[in-house]
Structure 1
Amino acid sequence: MSNAPYIEDQPGSSRPESHRLRQVAESFGEDPDRYDRARPHYPAALVERIAADAPGPDVLDVGCGTGIAARQFRAAGCTVLGVEPDTRMADFARASGIEVEVATFEAWEPAGRRFDAVIAGQSWHWVDPVSGAAKAARVLRPGGRLAVFAHVFEPPPDVAAAFTAVHRRVAPDSPVGLPQGTSLREAYQGGFTKYAEAIREAGGFGDPEQLQFDWERSYTRDQWLDLLPTTGGLTRLPADKVAEVLTEVGAVIDAMGGGFRTPFTTFAIVAARTDAT
Structure 2
Amino acid sequence: MPTLEPHQYRKVAESFGADAERYDRTRPAYPEALIARIAAAGADVLDVGCGTGIEARQLRDAGCAVLGVEPDARMAEFARRSGLDVEVSTFETWDAAGRTFDVVASGQAWHWVDPVAGAARASEVLRPGGLLVAFWHVFDPPAVVADVMATVFQRVMPVAALPKSATDAYDTMCDRAAAGMREAGGFGEAERWRYEWEREYTRDEWLDLMPTTGALTRLPAEELAEVLEAVGKAVDGVGGGFTMRYSTVAAAAVRV
1:213 and 1:87 mapped to 2: Cα distance? 31
Structure 2 unaligned residues grouped into runs of 5+: none
Query: Which of 140, 162, 165 in structure 2 is aligned with 1:178?
Result: 162
Amino acid at match of 1:72: Q
1:113-192 alignment, distance < 5 Å: 113-172=99-158, 178-179=162-163, 182-192=164-174
Alignment of 1:176-215 (within 5 A): 178-179=162-163, 182-215=164-197
| 2:7 alignment partner, one of 16, 19, 22 | 19
Q: CA separation of 1:176/1:268 partners in 2, compared to 1, >3 Å: closer, same or farther?
A: farther
Question: Matches of 2:4 and 2:141 in 1, distance apart?
Answer: 24
CA contact (8 A) 1:176 1:233 kept: no
Residue matched to 1:83: 69
Which 10-residue stretch deviates more, 132-141 or 206-215? 206-215
d(CA) in 2 for partners of 1:191, 1:270 = 12
CA-CA distance at 1:156 after TM superposition? 1.3
State TM-score, norm by structure 1: 0.88
Question: What SS is found at the alignment partner of 1:80?
Answer: strand
The Cα of 1:16 is off from its aligned counterpart by: 6.7
Per the normalisation by structure 2, the TM-score is 0.95
Partner of 1:10: none
| Aligned counterpart for 1:44 among listed residues 26, 32, 36 | 32
Partner of 1:31: 19
- In structure 2, C-alpha distance between the alignment counterparts of 1:241 and 1:187, rounded to whole Å: 24
Counterpart position of 1:5: none
Q: Deviations over 1:36-63 (max 9, x none)?
A: 0111111100010111123xx1110000
C-alpha distance 176-217 of structure 1, shift in aligned 2 (>3 A): farther
Q: Which has the higher contact order (CA 8 A, sep 6+)?
A: 1
* Matched residues, number: 254
CA distance in 2, matches of 1:98, 1:261: 32
Aligned partners of 1:77, 1:213: CA distance in 2, in Å? 21
Match of 2:88 in 1: 102
Separation in 2, partners of 1:262, 1:90: 29
Q: SS of the residue aligned with 1:31?
A: helix
Percent of aligned pairs sharing the same letter = 60
3-state SS in 2 of match to 1:204: coil
Per-residue deviation, residues 37-91 of structure 1 (Å, max 9, x unmatched): 111111100010111123xx11100000000010000000001110001011001
